[in-house]
Each structure stands twice: as C-alpha cells, then as structure tokens.
Structure 1
Amino acid sequence: MIKFFRKIRQNLLLKNKFKKYLVYAIGEIFLVVIGILLALSINNWNSNRIKDKIIRNYYERIISELNQEIISAERQKKQNHKLISYNQRALKILNSKNSDSLDILKDLLGATATNWISEYSFPITDEFLNQNFLSEIKNDSLKANFKYFSQVLKITEGLNGYNNDQYRMTIEPFFAKNINYSEVALKNYKKFLIDGGPKTDLRPFFENLELWNILTFKLESLEIEYQMFDKAIKAFKSLKSEIKTELEKK
C-alpha cells in the first residue's frame, strides 16, 4: 500500500504536477492522521471497557463485603447496648447505696472492665480505594458515599483508640488495685479464670468518687460508640444502595 502511494507521488512529480502533488500529499497526511486517531480511539475504548469491567467486578464484591459488615455492625451494636445497660444499672445501684444489691453490682461491674472495640473488615473496598478507582467514578452521589464511608471508618478508628487508652490507663489500673476481677468478670470470660484470691468488699465503693467517674466515663464512651454504630450501619447501607443503582445503569 505504501509503495502504491509512493508511485502516485513520483508520477505526479515527473509530470510536473506540483499542485496536484501537494494536494495529494496533504490528503495522504490527513488520512494517516485519521488512521492514527482512529487507532487511538479504538485503543482508548478498549482500555475503558476493560477498566469498566474491573470496576464492575469490584462493585459486586464490595456489595458482598458490605452485606457481611452490616450484619457484624448490627451484632456489635447489640453487644454495645448490653454493656450500656450494665453500666447504667451499676451506677443506679451505687447511687442508691443499697447493700442488698451488692451481688448484682458484682455481676454488672464486669461490663466496665471489658473493652470491646468496633471491628470492621473491608479488604476489597480498601483495595479499590487504594488503587484510586474513586477518581474514575462519575456519579457524584456514589463518590460522596465512598468518601463518607471512609470518614466513618476513620472516626471509628479514633474512637477505638480512645477506648483502648481509657481501658489501659484508667479502668484496668483501678480494678487491679481495688477489685478482684475474677469475681466480677462477665460470664463468657469468667469461665477461663480461676476462682479465689482476696474477696472484694464493695460497700466502701458507694462513696468512691473514682469508681463513680470511671463508670460514668465508660457509659459516655459506650453511648458515643452506640451512635457510631448507627452511623456506620447507615453509611454501609447507603453505599450499598448507590453501588447497586450504578450497576443497574451499566
């Protein structure tokens, strides 16, 4: 094909048809440019098609991941509510100064000495975001949902850090010095412990400001965590809904 075009140009030059040669040369350049642009367009279309297929695959797996973590968040929310209830009841007993309720108080204090952090696992979603696929999303609502999802996880991580510090620096040291933990541990932990050791007399704690504040601070952090579970569940469900809508468009 190249030899054919070259022969035409040579014939035009030999016949001194410079104008026709120039027009033909420009036309040939134009055809070459069109061919290059067409090839680039096809290549770009193919690349976008492959990228869309990869993103679609991620979306389907992210939905599955979200379904699992919504169930996990709802289960953790119930556990959190149980701890809130225990701490509230313990504070009410301390406030009542009712010695007849000391055995109940022992069963409740284990909730204060327990640190259950919020745990989520999103390896596929993290991989999607780390590969900067967020920049490929044209749907502003979906993009906003991904960003809010990331913010919720970041806040949850910060809250977990606060709860860990609260337990490590305040709660555990107090129990270690003042309360026989094996007596007050929650049932699912007590089965791993050995009964015995010095008995704890809880009556003096009716007037113990430190224990009162420990229970109060613990209750506060549990209430905040409960609210974060609500936000997390809402964020997970909203992101799932947006992704499903996006998949239906494709």
Structure 2
Amino acid sequence: MIKLFRKTRQNLLMENKISKYFKYAIGEIVLVVIGILIALSVSNWNENRKLQERVNNFYPKFKLQIEKNIKKVDAYLYEVDYQFKGAKRNLEILGSKNNKLSLLRLDSLILFTGTDFHLNLDMITLNEARLNENLSLIKSDTLRKSIYTFIKLNDDVIEREKIVNEDLKSELKPFINKHFNIRNLFNSIGYSGLSKSKVYKDDNKKILDSQEFENLVVTRIMYIEDISVLYSGALNTLEIINDLLEKEIKKNND
C-alpha cells in the first residue's frame, strides 16, 4: 500500500501535475491520520474491555467477602447487645441490701463487662482491590462511596476497640484481680476441672458497695454501647454494598 502511494506521487511529479500532487498528498495524510485514530480507538476499546473484565471478575469475589462479613457482624452485634442489656440489668445489684441475690448476679455483671472486643472483619479482597486500583474502575458513584464509607467505619471500629480493650486491661481487670475471686467465677460457669477457691473469705461483698467498682462498670457499659453503635453502622453499610453489588452483577450479566 505504501509503495503504491509512493509510485502514484512520483508519477504525478513526473507529469508535472503539482496541484494534483498536493491534493493527493493531503488525501494521503488524511487517510493515515484516520488510520491512526481508528487504531487508537480499537486499542482504547480493547483496554476498556480488559478493565471492565477486571471489575466484573472482582464483583462476585468481593460480594462473597461482604456476605461473610455481614454474617460475622450480625452475630457479633447480637452478642454485644446481649452483653449491654445484661450489664445494665445487673447494675442494680450495686448498693443492694440483698447480698445473697446480689452475689449470684455479680458474676454475670463481671462477665458482661469484662469482655474485650475483636471483630476482625475479612478485608483481604478489598485491600487487594485498593492495591490493584480496582476500586477506581467502579462506575457506580454510590457503590464506590459506600465502599469507602465502610473502609472508614472499619478503621473507626478498630480504633474504638483498642480504646475499649485498653480500658479493660488497665482499669477493670486490675480492680477485679485485686478485689474479686476469679476462681469461683469460673467454677460457677462450669469451667472444667476447676474447683472452688479455698482462700475465698466471702470478700466479694465488699465491691457491691464500692464507688470505684460502680464507676468502672458504668464506664464499661458506655463503651459497650459505643461499640454496638459502630457495629450497627458497619452492618448497615455492608448490607447497602451487598445490594449494590447484586445490582451491578445482574447488570453485567444481562
């Protein structure tokens, strides 16, 4: 093709047809430009197709991760809600005159407030998508914003869990270790092979009237409520993402 164009130009020059030569040369340039534009268009289309395939392959894998996290948060949230309600319910034993009943419920109060929190959501697929820049390929603004909202919520959960767990480690647990018989607590909940304490002197009664213990427990209850709110927010966002992913997958399959 190039040889044919060159020969045609040479013939026009030899025949001294300068005007036709320039017209032909311009036409040739236009054809070359059009060819380049078509090639670029095909290349761009092919590249966009590959990028879309990456996103389409990412969606189902990501949806599985989201569904797994929804189940985990839902189960964890149920436990946290149970702890919160149980702790508030048993808080009334503090300062009570019925020591026999109060001591029976004291174990429950300590169990409800003496738990640390480690949600540990599965973020592997999402972190890979961030590294591979797959998130930037998502066309749906709503889906992309929801994903980044969830990432921020998960960071908030991790940060809040650190604060709550550190409070347990540095405040409540040291007090319990000093003023409460833990061996009898585990014996009462059926811990295998652990008999009742021989050093216990009925001294658990003392913390029922302790202002310090009440303050520590109330602080724990407030922390549990904070954790519950964060978990609820994460669950709601995960469910939104799951619905949006389902729509995107369906759209791509149609």
Return the TM-score normalized by structure 2.
0.90
1:186 CA drift (Å):
9.2
1:115 CA drift (Å):
0.9
1:128 CA drift (Å):
1.3
For 1:106 and 1:19, locate their aligned partners in 2 and report how far apart those are by CA, in whole Å.
104
1:183 CA drift (Å):
2.5
| Equivalent pairs, count | 250
Runs of 4+ in 1 over 3 A off after TM superposition: 185-198
* Residue 85 to residue 230, structure 1, CA distance change in 2 (3 Å): same
1:185 CA drift (Å):
4.4
* Residue 3 to residue 69, structure 1, CA distance change in 2 (3 Å): same
Contact 2:90 2:108 in 1 (8 A): no
Contact 1:109 1:184 in 2 (8 A): no
- Partner of 1:84: helix, strand, or coil? helix
Return the TM-score normalized by structure 1.
0.91
For 1:136 and 1:173, locate their aligned partners in 2 and report how far apart those are by CA, in whole Å.
51
The equivalent of 1:70 in structure 2 is 70
For 1:47 and 1:189, locate their aligned partners in 2 and report how far apart those are by CA, in whole Å.
63
- Partner of 1:119: helix, strand, or coil? coil
Letter in 2 for 1:136: L
Letter in 2 for 1:213: N
Contact 1:69 1:121 in 2 (8 A): yes
Q: Which moved more, 1:192-201 or 1:104-113?
A: 192-201
The equivalent of 2:20 in structure 1 is 20
Structure 1 residue 240 and structure 2 residue 242: aligned?
A: yes
For 1:144 and 1:207, locate their aligned partners in 2 and report how far apart those are by CA, in whole Å.
50
Q: Which moved more, 1:82-91 or 1:20-29?
A: 82-91
Structure 1 residue 112 and structure 2 residue 113: aligned?
A: yes
Contact 1:70 1:236 in 2 (8 A): yes
Provide, for residues 184-219 of structure 1, a one-character-per-residue CA deviation record: whole Å limited to 9, x for no partner: 249789448675363262211122111111111111
1:93 CA drift (Å):
0.9
Q: Which moved more, 1:111-120 or 1:25-34?
A: 111-120
Provide, for residues 135-182 of structure 1, a one-character-per-residue CA deviation record: whole Å limited to 9, x for no partner: 222322112211211121121111111112112211222222222223
For 1:152 and 1:60, locate their aligned partners in 2 and report how far apart those are by CA, in whole Å.
22
Contact 1:113 1:175 in 2 (8 A): no
